[in-house]
């Protein structure tokens, strides 16, 4: 009974309940258009029939993106090949900024960034290497993300940041500005800390700067298993699908704008 309840609850609550209603409404509209057009006209005999089919198809697509199977496949497609590690000996740890949140005391690092900071702090304790944090202003009136990262590193993990790069607006600028700071201090290679699904694009950005980085992914994904539970939609998996699609779009844009990474 509990398993059935856990499976049905996400489908009976927004937003998936609304998506299911849109799917049903689209199918009903298409069927009504077919009947009005005549028995030999087919489902898409009129504009309303096409509109109904389109609404149903879009709704079904959202439900697919909400399944653990599709979301897991999308994330794993990014995480499967992080690239080769540099042969250079790292002289620093680069932690890329990700997101920001609003806490009781104002702006603070978001969950993605906090995961990266925790991994970077652990790598610092293991290696003894100094840390560079990088991230600019994400929205008007807010402090640069790198300053929040440095504050969190010190307060939450007892680790100082030696370099605070607070101008970068995206991964490309993270690589360009961080590379400039490290080279100015004689650092020729570094560990790179970010999520596994973001690592290939981040490594590519540093490769375009001809700066060797060794990947230190926060997490690595595993290919999803095809089982009944993997086909049950859940709204939280839409977030995973969105991150994966956003990342694929970012990789395509970087390749078009900057060329393939060496």
Q: What per-residue confidence (pLDDT) applies to 209?
A: 95
Q: What per-residue confidence (pLDDT) applies to 16?
A: 64
Could you give the 3-state DSSP secondary structure of residue 76?
helix
Q: Provide the residue ranges of all domains of the chain, joining segments of one domain with +.
A: 2-65, 84-219
- Rg (the chain; Cα; Å): 23
Burial class (CB in 10 A: 0-12, 13-18, 19+), 104: exposed
Taking only the tens place, the pLDDT of each residue in 111-154 is 999 999 999 999 999 999 999 999 999 888 899 999 999 999 99
Q: Which position has the token pair 């697509």?
A: 61
Q: Which position has the token pair 């100082």?
A: 160
Question: What CATH code would you report for 84-219?
Answer: 3.40.50.620
Q: What per-residue confidence (pLDDT) applies to 192?
A: 97
Q: What per-residue confidence (pLDDT) applies to 212?
A: 95
Which segments in the chain show pLDDT lower than 70? 1-14, 16-20, 23, 26, 30, 33-34, 36-49, 80-87
Backbone phi, then psi, for 121, in 5-degree steps? -65, -40
pTM value is 0.79
Q: What per-residue confidence (pLDDT) applies to 234?
A: 85
Q: What per-residue confidence (pLDDT) applies to 43?
A: 47
**Residues 154, 164: contact at Cβ < 8 Å?**
no
Residue 190: beta bridge partners? 213
% residues pLDDT > 70 (the chain): 81
The two tokens of residue 110 are: 């978001």
């Amino acid at each position: 009974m509990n398993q059935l309840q856990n499976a049905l609850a996400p489908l009976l609550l927004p937003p998936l309940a609304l998506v299911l209603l849109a799917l049903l409404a689209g199918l009903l509209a298409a069927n009504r258009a077919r009947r009005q057009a005549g028995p030999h006209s087919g489902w898409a005999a009129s504009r309303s029939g096409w509109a109904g089919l389109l609404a149903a198809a879009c709704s079904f697509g959202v439900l697919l993106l909400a399944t653990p199977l599709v979301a897991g496949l999308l994330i794993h497609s990014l995480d499967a090949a992080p690239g080769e590690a540099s042969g250079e000996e790292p002289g620093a740890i680069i932690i890329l900024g990700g997101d920001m949140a609003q806490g009781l005391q104002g702006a603070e690092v978001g969950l993605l960034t906090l995961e990266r900071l925790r991994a970077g702090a652990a790598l610092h304790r293991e290696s003894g290497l100094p840390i560079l944090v990088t991230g600019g202003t994400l929205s008007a009136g807010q402090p640069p993300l790198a300053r929040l990262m440095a504050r969190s590193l010190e307060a939450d993990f007892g680790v100082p940041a030696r370099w605070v790069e607070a101008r970068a607006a995206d991964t490309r600028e993270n690589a360009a500005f961080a590379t400039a700071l490290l080279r100015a201090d004689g650092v020729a290679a570094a560990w790179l800390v970010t999520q596994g699904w973001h690592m290939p694009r981040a490594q590519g950005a540093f490769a375009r700067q001809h700066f060797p980085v060794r990947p230190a992914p926060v997490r690595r994904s595993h290919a999803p298993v095809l089982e009944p539970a993997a086909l049950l939609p859940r709204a939280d998996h839409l977030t995973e699908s969105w991150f994966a699609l956003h990342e694929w779009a970012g990789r395509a844009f970087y390749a078009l704008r900057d060329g393939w990474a060496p």
